[in-house]
Amino acid sequence: MAQIPRRVAILGGARIPFARANSAYSEVGNQDMLTAVFKSLVDKYSLKGERLGEVAAGAVIKHSRDWNLARESTLGSGLHPTTPAYDLQRACGTSLSAIVQLGYRVALGEIDCAIGGGADSTSDIPLSYGKGLQRILLKSNRGRSFLEKLEPWSAFRLKHLKPMPPSVGEPRTGMSMGQHCEEMAKEWKISRRAQDELALKSHLNAAAAWQAGFFKDLVAEFNGLKSDNNVRGDTSLEKLSKLKTSFDRSEAGTLTAGNSSPLTDGAACVLLGSEEWARQRGIPILCFLSYSETAAVDFVGMAGKKEGLLMAPAYAVPRMLHPFAATGARVVATLAKQLAERGSGRGLISICAAGGQGVTAILER
């Protein structure tokens, strides 16, 4: 029997370019994108026709037709059709949670290899039409005769056709993540200037990495897009400072379209497995998944102490680091490659999620 627990090796990843909502991927959905990254990973590591231990992936906003998203995307990936797969969802922490769960199974010797990932489309969103139309349709469907099926439609009104797009607000507060973040910025006295400086550094670093070819073997062209179209390598502090605030329109507001994350479409996945499985296939090990932790905060104040919606990682990180020695599949694959290029080191991934949650992990080499 294998020594338990085994080290969990991160072997590589694949993703498609990330696109701003309603741009390059406006006509495709989650399954198209997730299948594309699975195919890319299968081709990259010569896994066509192979049965893997398991695949886990998910999406935050998805149609009812995507109820079996991970399995359907696996069937279209080129893997052997007997490869099992399941969906999960933990808002922004979805794919990292998938990778961690699969890592546990590898560590315990239950499986030798797995793929974890996620996809999301804010362009191809499901629309509903309210309970009024729902009741009419259900009552009509229950009718046995033509007249019984027709009768409920006497209550139909044009207002029933008003669509109800999914909300990006927290159900318990009605506030968006941006509005919650605005509250946190005020509480912790994080200035507009500091946020703009961090945003500028992020855009410039991402643009430099693209120019240096860092993403060449991580990102597969999809739907005519070859690179992320939400990176602004030509921005400046001057340009960022001129943008209007997005969530608090008063002079006290600090978050803008320039220093906040845009609504984005994309998909990514990661290949992980045991050291032995990797050696048998000649796949270099980039790094190892060492630890993980999750946390949640009372962002509503139900227990008396209200905290910022995005503060959960601040609790998960120290819990993970004591007494021991981190968005999802995209971050894991990128960090793993960085560690492999450096030769050694540790990296922390920290992701906040809706509902006041946080998911963290450590990769090391």
Query: How does residue 326 score in pLDDT terms, banded at 50, 70 and 90?
Result: very low
For residues 207 and 230, give the distance between their C-alpha atoms in angstroms, rounded to a whole number: 10
pLDDT of 2 above 60: no
Burial class for 340, CB neighbours closer than 10 Å (0-12, 13-18, 19+): middle
Q: What is the pLDDT of residue 26?
A: 95
Q: Give, rounded to a whole angstrom, the gap between the first and last alpha carbons of the chain.
A: 25
pLDDT of 232 above 70: yes
**DSSP state for residue 244 in the 8-state scheme:** P
Mean pLDDT of 100-105: 97
Task: Give the range among 157-161, 267-271, 348-352 with minimum mean pLDDT.
Answer: 348-352
Query: How does residue 159 score in pLDDT terms, banded at 50, 70 and 90?
Result: very high
Q: What is the pLDDT of residue 166?
A: 76
Six-digit token string for 163? 């669509």
pLDDT of 174 above 50: yes
Query: How does residue 327 score in pLDDT terms, banded at 50, 70 and 90?
Result: low
**DSSP state for residue 163 in the 8-state scheme:** -
Contacts 24+ apart (CB under 8 A), 213-221: 214/337, 217/44, 218/13, 218/14, 218/15, 218/333, 218/334, 218/337, 219/14, 219/15, 219/16, 219/17, 220/14, 220/15, 220/16, 220/36, 220/37, 220/40, 221/16, 221/17
SS3 169: strand
pLDDT of 208 above 80: yes
Residue with tokens 């959960």: 312
Q: Which pLDDT tens digit goes with each residue over 233-267?
A: 999 999 999 999 999 999 999 999 999 988 999 99
Mean pLDDT of the residues in the chain:
93
Q: What is the pLDDT of residue 348?
A: 87
Q: What is the pLDDT of residue 286?
A: 96
Q: Which pLDDT tens digit goes with each residue over 261-292?
A: 889 999 999 999 999 999 999 999 999 999 89
* Cβ burial 287-305 (10 Å sphere, 16+ → b, else e): bbbbbbbbbebebeeeeee
Domain boundaries, the chain: 130-161
Query: How does residue 1 score in pLDDT terms, banded at 50, 70 and 90?
Result: very low
Mean pLDDT of 110-137: 93
Q: Catalytic residue numbers?
A: 92, 322, 352
Q: How many Cβ atoms are within 10 Å of 236's Cβ, its own excluded?
A: 13
Query: What is this structure's pTM?
Result: 0.90
How remote is the C-alpha of 305 from its chain's centroid? 29
How remote is the C-alpha of 93 from its chain's centroid? 6
Q: How many Cβ atoms are within 10 Å of 103's Cβ, its own excluded?
A: 26
